[in-house]
Amino acid sequence: MTSTGRDANAVLTRDAVTGAFGFTGRHIATRLLADGREVINLTNHPDRSDPFEGRVNAAPLNFRNPEALVTSLEGVDTLYNTYWMRFARRGSPHRQAAQNSSVLFEAAHAAGVRRIVHISIANPDPNSPLPYYRGKAQVEQDLIASGVSCAILRPAVLFGDEPILVNTIAWMLRRLPVFGIPGDGQYGVQPTFVGDLAAMAVAQGARNESLVVDVVGPERFTFDEFVSLIRAAVGSHSLLVHLPPSLTLMAAWSLGILMRDVIMTREEVDGLLGNLLVSRHPALATTRFSDWLTDASPWLGKRYIPELARRLPTLAA
Ligand SMILES: NC(=O)c1ccc[n+]([C@@H]2O[C@H](COP(=O)([O-])OP(=O)(O)OC[C@H]3O[C@@H](n4cnc5c(N)ncnc54)[C@H](OP(=O)(O)O)[C@@H]3O)[C@@H](O)[C@H]2O)c1
């Protein structure tokens, strides 16, 4: 047995990770490589800087060519799926992402993949007014219907070495004299450390039973507390003010134009205000956001981490 409990004599030693050079995917791939597994990266950005120095080969994540996806997945034991679209240049990104995920699951089934470990989100809901949460629920249903053994892991918001949301908040707090909190700030945030999520994903890859579970951290904050904690950690003197959500959205939109990025979408604000970034289940991740924040405070928010720039080639397609 290996450190993650995987049978070292298992026949297939190759796994596939969507976005293995991305945020969650990189942490999963790191653990798999440490476990002696071969990893292939299913991606539309094979030229992104390679953290694994050539140890991970890339194959296209081309949903318009399911046959090629099947070929790429042949000989793969476990598919770790982190694929999702936060936004798109046109059309409905979440519906498109759900349809694409379904193509991926069918390809995995056709290729004989044993197990799919899928990263979803806390509180997906087929009846949600928010297409993001409806789309995530659809993907879960399609995965369960695919007939491939699966584990579905649901974090709410992630932190770690590339924490887009937390870093953007810190970046704003370091630079702006005023920080607008949408609404009353009493809705919750329950962050998950990306390393905890990756560890759980890899452990689940070695198993066979189906599982659907929230993966959230041990600390739960109101958004007011969350922003205040980050403010103190980065030594910001920014004034925190509560504003109507539409005003904060307009401010985020204007800042987004300046930074050539999508800072926050209306749906993300609605999800936040709807208390969807917390779990109703016990915490399974153990790393405390407040401890991590103390360590991260020297670098957090010093540099803006752009999301759109990383996506431009895909979004332009
Ligand atoms: N980050 C969070 O705070 C958070 C919170 C809750 C749930 N989640 C879920 O966790 C999973 C992984 O999130 P992550 O932040 O680690 O993702 P990520 O690394 O930014 O991206 C993961 C994958 O999605 C693809 N992708 C992302 N945006 C795309 C776009 N606009 N068009 C086409 N492909 C796109 C990437 O493709 P390439 O390899 O081609 O780049 C990669 O395969 C997602 O399902 C996400 O919904 C994340």
For residues 47 and 90, the model is more confident at: 47
Global model pTM greater than 0.85 = yes
> How far does residue 241's CA lie from ligand 1's centre (Å)?
31
What are the φ and ψ backbone dihedral angles of 250, each rounded to 5 degrees?
-65, -40
Evaluate the CA torsion angle 35, 40, 45, 50 in order and state its sign: positive
Q: Write out the two tokens for 242.
A: 């509560």
- Convert the pLDDT of each residue in 189-198 to its tens digit: 999 999 999 9
Looking from the CA of 285 toward its CB, the CA atoms found within 13 Å total: 30
Residue 5 lies in a domain: no
- Convert the pLDDT of each residue in 153-184 to its tens digit: 999 999 999 889 999 999 999 999 999 999 99
What are the φ and ψ backbone dihedral angles of 39, each rounded to 5 degrees?
-125, 135
Q: Read off the CATH number of the domain in which 186 is found.
A: 3.90.25
Residues 96 and 107 in one domain: yes
How many domains does one find in the chain? Answer: 2
Domain that holds residue 57: 14-158+192-214
Residues with CB under 6 A from ligand 1: 18-19, 22-25, 43-45, 61, 82-86, 88, 119, 121, 155-158, 165, 311, 314-315
SS (H, E, C) the chain: CCCCCCCCCCCCCEEEEECCCCHHHHHHHHHHHHCCCEEEEEECCCCCCCCCCCCCEEEECCCCCHHHHHHHHCCCCEEEECCCCCCCCCCCHHHHHHHHHHHHHHHHHHHCCCEEEEECCCCCCCCCCCHHHHHHHHHHHHHHHCCCEEEEEECCEEECCCCHHHHHHHHHHHHCCEEEEECCCCCEECEEEHHHHHHHHHHHHCCCCCEEEECCCCCCEEHHHHHHHHHHHCCCCCEEEEECHHHHHHHHHHHHHHHCCCCCCHHHHHHHHCCCCCCCCCCCCCCCHHHHHHHHCCCCCCCCCCCHHHHHHHHHC
Q: Read off the CATH number of the domain in which 206 is found.
A: 3.40.50.720
Give the burial string for 277-291 (b: 16+ CB within 10 Å, else e): bbbeeebbbebebee
> How far does residue 85's CA lie from ligand 1's centre (Å)?
6
Residue 53 lies in a domain: yes
Residue 1 lies in a domain: no
Pairwise CA distance, residues 168 & 264, whole Å:
10
Residues 209 and 272 in one domain: no
> How far does residue 269's CA lie from ligand 1's centre (Å)?
18
Protein residue with its CA nearest to atom 34 in ligand 1: 85
Pairwise CA distance, residues 60 & 68, whole Å:
8
- Convert the pLDDT of each residue in 267-303 to its tens digit: 999 999 999 999 999 999 999 999 999 999 999 999 9
Query: In a mutational test of the pocket of ligand 1, which residue from 84, 133, 289, 312 has the highest number of ligand atoms less than 8 Å from its CB?
Result: 84
Residues 125 and 19 in one domain: yes
> How far does residue 9's CA lie from ligand 1's centre (Å)?
32
Residue 310 lies in a domain: no
For residue 162, the model assigns a pLDDT of 86
Residues 99 and 246 in one domain: no
Amino acid at position 16, single letter: A
Residues 71 and 207 in one domain: yes
**C-alpha closest to that of 211 among 296, 131, 122, 150:** 150
Residues 203 and 243 in one domain: no
For residue 1, the model assigns a pLDDT of 54
Residue 314 lies in a domain: no
- Convert the pLDDT of each residue in 208-228 to its tens digit: 999 999 999 999 999 999 999
Protein residue with its CA nearest to atom 23 in ligand 1: 83
Residues 56 and 66 in one domain: yes
Residue 61 lies in a domain: yes
Question: Mean pLDDT score of the chain, rounded to an integer?
Answer: 92
- What's the mean pLDDT in 37-61? 93
Give the burial string for 148-168 (b: 16+ CB within 10 Å, else e): bbbbbbbbbbbbbebbbbbbb
Pairwise CA distance, residues 105 & 69, whole Å:
10
For residue 317, the model assigns a pLDDT of 37
Residues 110 and 163 in one domain: no
Residue 9 lies in a domain: no
Residues 57 and 31 in one domain: yes
Q: Burial level of 142, CB count in 10 A (0-12/13-18/19+)?
A: middle
Residues 70 and 204 in one domain: yes
- Convert the pLDDT of each residue in 120-156 to its tens digit: 999 999 999 999 999 999 999 999 999 999 999 999 9
Pairwise CA distance, residues 284 & 213, whole Å:
9
43 DSSP β-pair partners: 60
For residue 46, the model assigns a pLDDT of 82
Residue 171 lies in a domain: yes
Residues 39 and 87 in one domain: yes
Residues 244 and 200 in one domain: no
